[in-house]
Structure 1
Amino acid sequence: MASYITVDSGTTNTRVSLVFDGRLIDTLKFGVEPKENESRKDCLTRLLRKAIANVLEKNKMQETQISRIIASGMITSEIGLIELEHVKAPCGVKELSENLYEITIEEISKIPFVFIRGVKYISDDNVDMMRGEETEIYGINPKANTLYVLPGSHSKLVLMDNENRISHFSTCLTGEMIGAVANNTILKGCVDLSKSATDEDFLQKGYLFAKENGINSALFKVRSLKKFSRTDDNQTLSFFMGVMLACEIDNIVKSSAQRVVIGGKNQLKDPTAFLLKQNSRKEILTVSEEEASNATVIGAIMIYENSLL
């Protein structure tokens, strides 16, 4: 069985994983922070070279033992190593495999790189794109006619068609907006995002208040709760999360899919799952945090090995 290094590159962080004989044995994570007068591309090149060398040395392996470096995510964008065109939806493993881009980047490694392109969706009234989520989706063994929710800085709602292809999708700025509102408005100090929102009653109250009064009014209600009521920190955070998730929940409820699978980290996954179970009749399933964490590695290898068939 072949051994690989996978690179999962996000907007801020990059993960380099070593897969030996079908087993994920190590992962290194780093942020891309260019030095003075250093371009982002040069910084990413330098840090990738170091991470790949480190993960091999740590596990007593040589470059010659690795078949390919399989890379996905923002590494194929204008802020990555090589900007590549998206594959147009609908698309599945077949289309992604047929559009791989292979190149050796000597400044980083003698191991050949294989880049997985992102996906774009274009209709008469909507345009959207993803880089990385397509690989993550196929790493969690997706089912046909199912809506996949991938919470994060930019949450993706991805609908699979009856051929198990990515049919269409939309993006919400959920995670980034949560951080921006909590840390850069009058609500700073009202909620602690290092904690998890676990009060289900206040999650539902926040969601319903936002639906009835709008998010703008609902957000100031968070400050009022903190200042004048007897709510504890968990209740205030839970109300806030209910408000911030309201639009995303409503978009999911409107979907034609009757089965919804939620991935991502527990901090966003758990309140999303609870609110959907409370406010829709859909079948709601969740992916474990470990499975979600490994999904991009599994998906990257699956897409590459499909190209060999």
Structure 2
Amino acid sequence: MYIATIDTGTTNTRVKVWHEGVVCGQAAAAVGVRDTVRTGSRARLQQGVHACLETALAEAGISWKKVGLVLASGMITSNVGLCEVPHVPAPAGVFEVARGMVAAVIPEVLDGPIWFVPGVKNAVAEVSLETCEGMDMMRGEEVETFGIMTQMGLNGPALVALPGSHSKYICIDETGRITGCLTTLAGELLDVITHHTLLADALGGAFADAINPDMLRQGAAYARDVGLSRLCFTTRILHLFTGCSRNDKANFLLGAVLAADLMALRGSQALKFNPEIPVWVAGKSELRQALILLFDDDPHFRGRVREVDDAVLQNAAGAGAIAVARARGLV
């Protein structure tokens, strides 16, 4: 059976066509739920998803008649997506998430049904100022996590780190269920500081393109001592009065931003886990390398730190969605 998987985030959509566990066609477009928010209409999102499906099918060399199942995950299941599906409360494994799947027909996208995979939220009965630190949620990262587990044979307990625009840290128990997640705006914060503050001059409007361990560690240590805001201005001081390269300064800032993530992991109520459990780190190469280094340096995290390579992450969302569909009995 051919299966099409749709992974839609805030700004991008990726479609893959699978046959017997192998990707045989794919397409991507810079369209996401942000377009719905920006335009007040779902039309652009509908058109973008439809176009990606058509392109992926063409690359696979098949017609719609051969597609037996279409799955969708990510922000496409939010209130600004194509079909809102309630989050499943943690703890949630593939079977719990599978029970929350919803099928819907959206004629502007596809004549047949699309099965939408729900996200997962932390189990906080009532959110208030006193309890909000324990709350968190995700749409899309749950299937990425299941996909990483499926492809790498990962068994819990473990902590899965997915650094990016919205960095997600996901805890898995010994039965393979997600027990909770923690989100930071690490990537967005780094982007804003790099491109839209006075530091754009010091950093040349660019991120670190090669990891400098010494500068990364210095940035992390400095931020722990004086805070991120002061470190940001110190980056400008380094620019004006030292011979630090652009990449050195970018590493200095990156270390500080990621150090704040580790601080959140140590102190937040959103995740409760044994620091002895292994940590699996995915994400773009530079972010992944930097985060692995800082995890290794931090005495609080005593489990083995392992790397999830690009090939696994590239197909994680689709592989995870298929694992959930299999638990539902659709595959």
Which residue number in structure 2 is paired with residue 133 of structure 1?
A: 141
Three-state SS of the structure 2 residue aligned to 1:152 is coil
Match runs of 1:59-70 below 5 Å: 59-70=60-71
Which residue number in structure 2 is paired with residue 307 of structure 1?
A: 328
Which residue number in structure 1 is paired with residue 89 of structure 2?
A: 88
TM-score (structure 2 length as normaliser): 0.88
Taking a change above 3 Å as real, the CA distance of residues 252 and 286 of structure 1, as seen in their structure-2 partners, is farther
Residue segments in structure 2 that go unaligned for 5+ positions in a row: 125-130, 268-272
Cα distance in 2, alignment partners of residues 38 and 160 from structure 1: 38
- 1:99-147 deviation per Cα after TM superposition (whole angstroms, max 9, x unaligned): 1111222222234211000111133452111000000000011421211
Does 2:155 correspond to 1:143?
A: yes
Which residue number in structure 1 is paired with residue 245 of structure 2?
A: 232
Deviation at 1:12, TM superposition (A): 0.6
Does 2:167 correspond to 1:166?
A: no
Deviation at 1:253, TM superposition (A): 5.0
Structure 2 counterpart of 1:216, one-letter code: S
Deviation at 1:275, TM superposition (A): 1.1
In the alignment, is the contact (CA less than 8 A) between 1:18 and 1:27 conserved in 2?
yes
Does 2:317 correspond to 1:296?
A: yes
Match runs of 1:1-309 below 5 Å: 2-32=1-31, 39-123=40-124, 124-125=131-132, 126-141=134-149, 142-191=154-203, 192-252=205-265, 255-258=273-276, 259-280=278-299, 281-308=302-329
Residue segments in structure 1 that go unaligned for 5+ positions in a row: none
Cα distance in 2, alignment partners of residues 303 and 52 from structure 1: 20
- 1:1-28 deviation per Cα after TM superposition (whole angstroms, max 9, x unaligned): x211100010011101111232112221
In the alignment, is the contact (CA less than 8 A) between 1:146 and 1:257 conserved in 2?
no
- 1:174-217 deviation per Cα after TM superposition (whole angstroms, max 9, x unaligned): 00110011111111122243542411000000000000111111
In the alignment, is the contact (CA less than 8 A) between 1:147 and 1:257 conserved in 2?
no
Cα distance in 2, alignment partners of residues 285 and 40 from structure 1: 42
In the alignment, is the contact (CA less than 8 A) between 1:104 and 1:113 conserved in 2?
yes
Task: Count how many residue pairs are aligned between Structure 1 and Structure 2.
Answer: 307
Three-state SS of the structure 2 residue aligned to 1:274 is helix
Cα distance in 1, alignment partners of residues 39 and 248 from structure 2: 45
Three-state SS of the structure 2 residue aligned to 1:140 is helix
Cα distance in 1, alignment partners of residues 141 and 19 from structure 2: 23
55-64 or 145-154: bigger deviation: 55-64
Deviation at 1:298, TM superposition (A): 0.6
Cα distance in 2, alignment partners of residues 98 and 122 from structure 1: 17
159-168 or 202-211: bigger deviation: 159-168
Structure 1 counterpart of 2:4, one-letter code: I
In the alignment, is the contact (CA less than 8 A) between 1:18 and 1:55 conserved in 2?
yes
Deviation at 1:265, TM superposition (A): 1.3
232-241 or 253-262: bigger deviation: 253-262
Three-state SS of the structure 2 residue aligned to 1:122 is coil
253-262 or 284-293: bigger deviation: 253-262
Structure 1 counterpart of 2:99, one-letter code: E
Which residue number in structure 1 is paired with residue 270 of structure 2?
A: none
